[in-house]
Structure 1
Amino acid sequence: MNRRLAAVFSAFLLVVAGCAAPVADPSAANDNSDAAVGGADPDADRSWPDDPPTDRLGWEAGYWYDESIAVDQSDGLNDSEMEAFVARTMARVEVVRELEFEESVPVEVVSRAEYRNESDASTDPVHSDWNDQVWEALLLVGEDRTIDEVFDELYGGVVLGYYSPSEGRIVVVSDDSQPTIDRRTLAHELVHAAQDQQFGLDRSPSTQDAQLAHSGLVEGDARYVDGLYEARCEADWDCVPQPSNSGAGGGSVDYPVFITIYTPYSEGPTFVSDLRDRGGWAAVDAAYADRPTSTEQVLHPTRYPDERPVEVTVEDRSSAAWTRYDTDPTADTVGEASVFATFWKHRAVDRASLQQDPGAYSPYNYTAEPSEGWAGDAVVPYRPASDETYEANPHERGYVWRTVWDTEADAEQFERAYVTDTLERSLNASEAGEDTYRVDDGPFADAYRVTREGNTVTVVNAPTVAQVDEVHERS
């Protein structure tokens, strides 16, 4: 299991900075009762209804969804402003999402420096090494870095807030000197709290692809709703103005890795919109009991729920000099979205195709011919069997990556994009034997054997050409 992704998509439900697409709510009522006119208090002559005898949609902690509140973020939020801001936003999320909160949600504001200090993750070194091979198999993170280092740099700069299911609280990351909250970030994380209270968010699948797919529903739901929320603010709700500094905190971002982990935020809203078109919010609610199992289903909503990924296995044909890692499971599945990111990085697909119509729910387009026919895959990392050799040579690793495709034509297309466009053209690989290639320089300097049988393509990686058969002997 990709534990760092699991931590992101289960232990912490994040909102990250990216390309936000406008979302129009086709069913939103035209409610102008809370619209400010000419700077005057729209409710100066209005008395609000009494608090209801029991909780109801559109009312939370003493505040109605269309009630005016006095919140000024120019000098930071005090306790009373925070209470009113959170409670009314909860009530509004209920109206938009048609989902009731069962209890209040604590919200804390921290600085970006505090967030970076708190998010420094300690991981099991064996699993981290195993995970490095998974990302190396994708040709996204080479031997000059670790995926943990890439994630630390990426998340430290782009995270705007998170919800913790284990603690039932929201943390908003503020780049202002005083505590302030971006209203869309707050709405997004409150959706996660409602999801957790109604459906439970304390479990995570066991593979990278399934984690991204699971998050496609969870993050897609939250991002779809925060877009509807913002549309109401722009159209007919009187909303708390955005703080002066409500963007990401900058820093180093590995864009191809970002594309991979951003999949749920980009493609999830379209997936959720499709579900809602099929059967309203009830269809979205029902999906939490039958969550998507692959990014293929999120990228192509019509394939949910019937088209499930095929199970791919890799038989162990290694010599006594090599062994699989002592991890559970020993294999990972990376999925269609990650394959797309690989080909995008190495220009095996048209990079311009990534940009989506700015009016669409999803800001990016993750579909391309070399990745679209994906049916299933398995990545199995290998290490030297000798602990002494393993510890002394950190880059002496290998892996077997087997992909299965819908048709032989799809497999041929993947093989061509992988060998010709990626290994040979992007990484300057040279032929080193039958179906075997060698990359001499750079972070992916290794030997690769690429074979295809029908609709199955198998990539075997090792430090040298001689060691390829030791990692996985030819059949």
Structure 2
Amino acid sequence: MSRLLAVFAVLTLVLAGCATPVPPTAGDPNWEWPEDPPTDRLGWENGYWYNESLDISQSDGLDEAEREALVARTMARVEHIRQLEFTKQVPVEVVSREEYRANRESRSTQSDRSAEYRAWNNQVWEALLLVGEDREVSDVLEELYGGSVLGFYSPSRDRIVIVSDSETPQINRGTLAHELVHALQDQQFGLASDARTQDAQLARSGIVEGDARYVEYLYEDRCESGAFDCIPKPERSGGSSSDRSAPGVFVTIYTPYSEGPALVDSLYRRGGWDAVNDVYTNLPASTEQLIHPEKYPDEAPVEMSVPDRSSGEWSRFDRDQQFDTVGEASLYAMFWQNHYIEQSALRRNTGNYSAYNYAHPATTGWAGDRVVPYRSDDGENTKYGYVWATTWDSEEDAREFKSAYETTLKLHVGGQRVEQGVYRVPDDRSFGDAFRVTRNGKRVTIVNAPTVEDLDSVHRRR
């Protein structure tokens, strides 16, 4: 799983001496190290107990022996906190920022995600008013991940990869613990997912990332209280994305890291680690359940359908899955990036374990949605559009969303009202298209096309 906000070590390792266990500086002065157990046990890994101290200084970097000792002790501490046993050692690899970016670009070039997929996905993010027609979503994501990911666990390679911006190999203790939780999850539960929509993927990642962040918080609490003797945190340097033109994309994909820990905490308070373990067999179904933990597991999203009412020259994409579901968190990011939601509201009333607050009256009450991209190709030019249907818990929720969306179109995107519910954004704007917004009871439908005349060709009125 990708790790967005983490600090890790560098590629070039500097020799810095051996990692030798030393007695703890706090507690009983007569305490002695126990013998290594005859077999592996909880809280002990590769020769190190969870409460051992290490004679390690990161001021001149970490050599291989120090790194191995730090990884082993952190594994033991993760076991102790999470009350789960690692079944095998976890290799840790260090790469430079340049190498990581080059590898991402190579994988992107060799990806089986075709130009057709990219065009389809562009329409999904354009529907959210987050990435306009002047940019490719893949480029936005590449810039974001290339500058922000500083460490991740790779299930396919069964190892942790550290991305470094520092000139010396320094490791952030919390980040290492976080990534080791992912390895532990993979060993105990598996990390495979059949989630196919944006909302479902974010929801399921909410448990994977939420569990890891929750353990990271508990780990840091023990460091700060003196219960653990911990290496100091290195100073932050670099590692942030330079792309600020689509901040709502970051807010969207950061949802699992922000809202997941609060749901895990809610589960832990209900039934301890057993309740957290059980959620892996019944993962959240929507970001709504992350934002509002009380809605897990009973309030599942509504299954929706969007009838194809396009004319002959317009068609859906030739894909197994022709639609996407974006969910409540993405709707929040849409209104936030476009300033319908005050920017500072993201960090207000966040709760104990949430970095951001994704709840807002314009998006609370979401019950389901479906985005269906369309295209028209006359052999010389390709035009794109979409139909985005949302459904809400009540008619009042639907009215509030419709009002917020139309206000966003007019005041923040540059839309000009053509007739009741129909808007035209000038072509020199990022979202230069025509929009039709209608409500029928709890359902709000948005139709997008290049011109007002094309709206009925994409999705004719009833």
Per-residue CA distance 1:156-206 (angstroms, 9 max, x = gap): 111120001111100011111132211111000000000010000022400
| Alpha-carbon shift at residue 46 of structure 1 (Å) | 5.6
Change (3 A) 1:433 1:244: closer
Letter in 2 for 1:468: L
Determine the C-alpha separation between the residues in 2 that align with 1:247 and 1:184: 17
Shift of the alpha carbon at 1:51?
1.4
2:155 counterpart letter in structure 1: P
Q: Which residue does 2:395 correspond to in 1?
A: 408
Q: Is the 8 A contact 1:398 1:461 kept in 2?
A: yes
Partner of 1:239: 230
C-alpha change, 1:99 and 1:247, in structure 2 (3 Å) is: farther
Q: Contact (CA 8 Å) 1:175, 1:245: kept in 2 or not?
A: no
Q: CA deviation at 1:207?
A: 0.2
1:74 positional shift: 2.2
1:283 maps to 275
Choose the corresponding residue for 1:168, options 146, 152, 158. 158
Offset, 1:67 = 1.1
User: Please, what TM-score do these two structures have when normalized by structure 1?
Assistant: 0.89
- Out of 242-251 and 211-220, give the one that drifted further: 242-251
Q: Is the 8 A contact 2:144 2:241 kept in 1?
A: no
Aligned letter for 1:201? L
1-side partners of 2:30 and 2:320: how far apart? 64
Distance 1:249 1:403 in 2: 34
Cα separation, 1, equivalents of 2:225 and 2:29:
21
1:339 aligns to what?
Answer: 331
Counterpart in 1 of 2:413?
Answer: 427
Matched ranges for 1:13-412 at <5 A: 13-17=1-5, 35-36=24-25, 47-120=32-105, 121-122=108-109, 123-236=113-226, 237-245=228-236, 248-253=239-244, 254-357=246-349, 360-386=352-378, 388-389=379-380, 392-393=381-382, 396-412=383-399
Q: Number of paired residues? A: 440
Structure 2 regions of 5+ residues with no counterpart? 7-21
Q: Is the 8 A contact 2:206 2:259 kept in 1?
A: yes
Partner Cα distance (1:98, 1:423) in 2: 50
Structure 1 CA distance for aligned equivalents of residues 274 and 71 of structure 2: 26
- Separation in structure 2 between the aligned mates of residue 360 and residue 269 of structure 1, nearest angstrom: 9
Shift, 1:45, TM fit: 7.3
Does structure 2 conserve the Cα–Cα contact (< 8 Å) formed by 1:323 and 1:385? no
Report SS of the residue matched to 1:379: strand
What secondary structure sits across from 2:54 in the alignment? coil
Deviations 1:82-140 (A, max 9, x none): 11000000000011111111111000111111111112223321101100000000000
C-alpha change, 1:302 and 1:443, in structure 2 (3 Å) is: same
Q: Which amino acid in the other structure matches residue 113 of structure 1?
A: E
Distance across 2 between alignment mates of 1:34 and 1:142 = 58
Aligned-partner Cα distance in 2 for 1:408–1:134? 25
> How far 1:252 moved relative to its partner?
2.1
Amino acid at match of 1:433: E
2:238, 2:91 → 1: CA distance? 22
Which stretch shifts more, 42-51 or 361-370? 42-51
Task: Look up the SS of the partner of 2:429 in the other structure.
Answer: coil
For residues 303 and 247 of structure 1, what CA distance do their matches in structure 2 show?
38
Q: Is the 8 A contact 1:107 1:172 kept in 2?
A: yes
Pair 43,151 (structure 1): closer, same or farther in 2 beyond 3 Å: farther
- Name the CA shift for 1:312/1:167 in 2 (closer, same or farther; >3 Å): same
Does the C-alpha gap of structure 1 residues 66 and 181 become closer, same or farther in structure 2, counting only changes over 3 Å? same
- Are 1:134 and 1:332, in contact at CA under 8 Å, matched by a contact in 2? yes
CA distance in 2, matches of 1:43, 1:141: 58
- 1:315 aligned counterpart, secondary structure: coil
Q: Deviations over 1:66-87 (max 9, x none)?
A: 1122222222221111110000
- 1:245, CA displacement in angstroms? 4.0
Cα distance, 1:215 vs structure 2? 0.6
| Distance of aligned partners of 1:406 and 1:249 in 2 relative to their CA distance in 1, 3 Å threshold | closer
State the alpha-carbon separation in 2 of the partners of residues 464 and 244 from structure 1: 52
Q: Which runs of 5+ in 1 are unaligned?
A: 1-12, 19-32
- Give the superposition deviation at 1:347: 2.0
Q: In structure 2, the residue corresponding to 1:368 is in which secondary structure?
A: coil
Q: Distance in 2 between matches of 1:116 and 1:46?
A: 48
Q: Distance in 2 between matches of 1:124 and 1:213?
A: 26
CA distance in 2, matches of 1:59, 1:320: 66
State TM-score, norm by structure 2: 0.91
User: Aligned partner of 2:393: which letter?
Assistant: D
How far, CA to CA, are the matches of 1:196 and 1:416 in structure 2? 44
Give 1:433 shift.
3.1
Work out the CA distance in 1 between the residues paired with 2:65 and 2:340: 54
Contact 1:174 1:181 in 2 (8 A): no
Residue 404 of structure 2: which of 399, 417, 420 is its match?
Answer: 417
